[in-house]
Structure 1
Amino acid sequence: MTMQRFISKAPANTMLLGEHSVVYGQPALACALDQWIEIEWQQREDQKVLIFSEIAQHTCDLQQLEIHPKLRFIGLALKHFQSALLQLGHGWELRVLSEFPSTIGLGSSAAVLAATLAGLNQITKSKLSKLELWQIGKEIIVEIQGRGSATDLAASLFGGVVFIQPPTEKQALKIESLPVNMDILLVYSGYKTPTAEVLEIVAQNWKAQPEMLDALYREMGQITQGAYHALTEHNWPVFYHSFEQYQSLMERLGVSDMTLDFLIAQLRACPLVWASKISGSGLGDCVLAIGEVYSKHRPQREKKPLLHECPEPEVVKNYLQLQLPISPIGTHIKNEPVQQA
């Protein structure tokens, strides 16, 4: 019997613009980053599924497919393809490897889900498009989290800078990957408030002013839409300014705090940083800084860390940080399946 073995890869991701408002139908911009989740797939002779990762290890029968509570994204993806997997008549061993820690905001759950879906698409020869994989993944995210725009999943699947317009009564779904290059610096505040908790805090703080909250989300959407058009038109000053505008709305929403404000102020004072804001839902987690946008027509002029020549670099260096380029490549199979005797 020949045994298949291959690797599926998905890049890390981070939100650029659209936090909070995307949940309510407004557009968002996110990007794939050049750090990777890899899943090694090894065919088995029996019908068992073995999953090995840093957070958990799990063994189950493909027929029953019990889902480990710490591996729900992988488990529900397997569940979706269960019938097709059973028809193949054999099980699989999955080894999940990550180049980045889950503590810093790089969308590890979405990247794992993207790599799992790509691997299952390969195994079952389903020939699903990335958009179809995204739709499956979004259903899984909503099942686990109760809500979610799956913007992070789109970034990991498609690569580059991804614009997403969620489907609404007035808008059709749109996902577009833009070939934009710039360096992204993420600085971790040292603490994190779960997104569901942040959303609940916002809901409580604004429950007496629902119309004003809706107006704020619309304004966020307009800024994100404007940033998208600025990218497509190569209007970099407008693109950079969008981050400052969006950050002011995050502050008005009530999800910035003293630590995040301090870090953003420090980053904005750096000469190689063109924009900075919260990345994620706020009240902790990360702030991001972006360097100058570059392309083949606009070569990168600086090969230096974004913190180079900052007024007080040691202050920011006390925080966990990671600088990465955008990955133009999204989720993919690393190599053709190798047949092993």
Structure 2
Amino acid sequence: MIATGKAHGKLILVGEHAVVYGQPAITIPLLNLQVQATVKSAPAAYLSSDYYQGLLAQAPQDFAGIKSLVNRLEEDLKLEPTTLALQINSALPLERGLGSSAATGAAICRAFFALAQKDLSCQTLINYTNFSEEIIHGTPSGVDAATVNSKQPLYFIKNQETSPFAMNFHGYLVIIDSGIKGKTGAAVAALRLLKKEQPEFVNPRLEELGSLAQQARKLLQTDGLLELGQVFRAAQKILRELQISNQQLDQLVQGASQAGALGTKITGGGRGGCLVALASDFDQAQKIGQAVLRQGAAQVFFQDLKIYS
């Protein structure tokens, strides 16, 4: 008895953090960065991954979402009493803001439903993915769960709208892994506290991030390359003011800019994780990638935006 499930990563182009407070965000699926989960009968409930190998029950706290999701799926699907082992193979770096935890949850869900030979609706898949995300991140917006289960870019407003849309856009993204683990939950909690203490400072900036997301959707549909670079720069300025950035990330932003990036910003939770730089073509994207690697970035990924047209 064996079954597999797959899911892909995600990237927030504009709107991170503001999306938690009802502002829109623009996200794209990273179709080539995938997670595969394999579940099979075994002598013991064992977890095998790049970050932990051992008994599932003894997995560290970072795996609490996976453990709870597995337990719930076994209960809900009423699987025949047996011991199941789970193997996770992922091309997504952990805790970098690229949707690793959401993609892992979605892949596990698909694997368990395949094992149970039961149909899985899109909404049910998103619900299970959000279940594990809430355990991991506390109060996620739901944008990760939606995007790792979508093949198209999304215009997303929490509890209101999830609208796929087609892009008409050329250019490349350089996804820059800073090598520093991002802590989305901690960053969200810190911003929530700052918002409570200084609402007159925080609220207008969150609204501006939402406005930039609206602008970004129009630009992606009309090939506004240079203007999107301006949106990236404006968003990064706000994220820095909201204490989502740090010195290491700011240095990588500067390095990408000096190498010709049209705009560079944090993507995801910040305080580590990844940045995304906009380039006009692949040659420019490569130059940006080489520059930030020399500055100490751990790795880079390239994404051709024409594939979403």
Are 1:26 and 2:23 an aligned pair? yes
Question: 1: CA distance between counterparts of 2:174 and 2:11?
Answer: 10
- 1:223 is matched with which residue? 212
- 2:6 is matched with which residue? 9
Number of equivalences:
305
- 2:176 is matched with which residue? 187
In the TM superposition, what is the alpha-carbon distance from 1:120 to its structure 2 partner?
2.1
**When you count helix as a share of all residues, which structure comes out higher?**
2
Question: 2: CA distance between counterparts of 1:189 and 1:176?
Answer: 29
- 2:241 is matched with which residue? 252
Mapped contact 1:27–1:224 kept (Cα < 8 A): yes
What does residue range 149-298 of structure 1 map to in structure 2 within 5 Å? Answer: 149-167=141-159, 172-176=160-164, 178=166, 183-192=172-181, 194-271=183-260, 273-292=261-280
- Change over 3 Å in CA distance of 1:249–1:136 after alignment to 2: same
Question: 2: CA distance between counterparts of 1:181 and 1:112?
Answer: 30
Are 1:37 and 2:35 an aligned pair? yes
Could you say what secondary structure the match of 1:268 adopts?
A: helix
What does residue range 68-83 of structure 1 map to in structure 2 within 5 Å? Answer: 69-83=61-75
- Change over 3 Å in CA distance of 1:166–1:314 after alignment to 2: closer
Question: 1: CA distance between counterparts of 2:81 and 2:189?
Answer: 46
Structure index of larger Rg: 1
Q: Which amino acid aligns with 1:185?
A: V
- 1:114 is matched with which residue? 106
Q: TM-score, normalised by structure 2?
A: 0.82
Range moving further from structure 2, 108-117 or 282-291: 282-291
Q: TM-score, normalised by structure 1?
A: 0.76
Question: 1: CA distance between counterparts of 2:193 and 2:77?
Answer: 45
Q: Percent identity between the aligned chains?
A: 22
Consecutive unaligned residues in structure 1, runs of 5 or more? 293-301, 330-341
In the TM superposition, what is the alpha-carbon distance from 1:193 to its structure 2 partner?
5.4
Mapped contact 2:15–2:24 kept (Cα < 8 A): yes
- Change over 3 Å in CA distance of 1:81–1:199 after alignment to 2: closer
- 1:50 is matched with which residue? 46
Mapped contact 1:26–1:217 kept (Cα < 8 A): yes
- 1:325 is matched with which residue? 303
1:132 corresponds to which of 107, 116, 124: 124
Mapped contact 1:20–1:281 kept (Cα < 8 A): yes
Could you say what secondary structure the match of 1:251 adopts?
A: helix
Question: 2: CA distance between counterparts of 1:134 and 1:6?
Answer: 20
Structure with greater contact order relative to length (CA < 8 Å, sep ≥ 6): 1
What is the root-mean-square deviation of aligned Cα atoms in Å?
Answer: 3.2
Question: 2: CA distance between counterparts of 1:190 and 1:214?
Answer: 30
- 1:295 is matched with which residue? none
Q: Which amino acid aligns with 1:219?
A: E
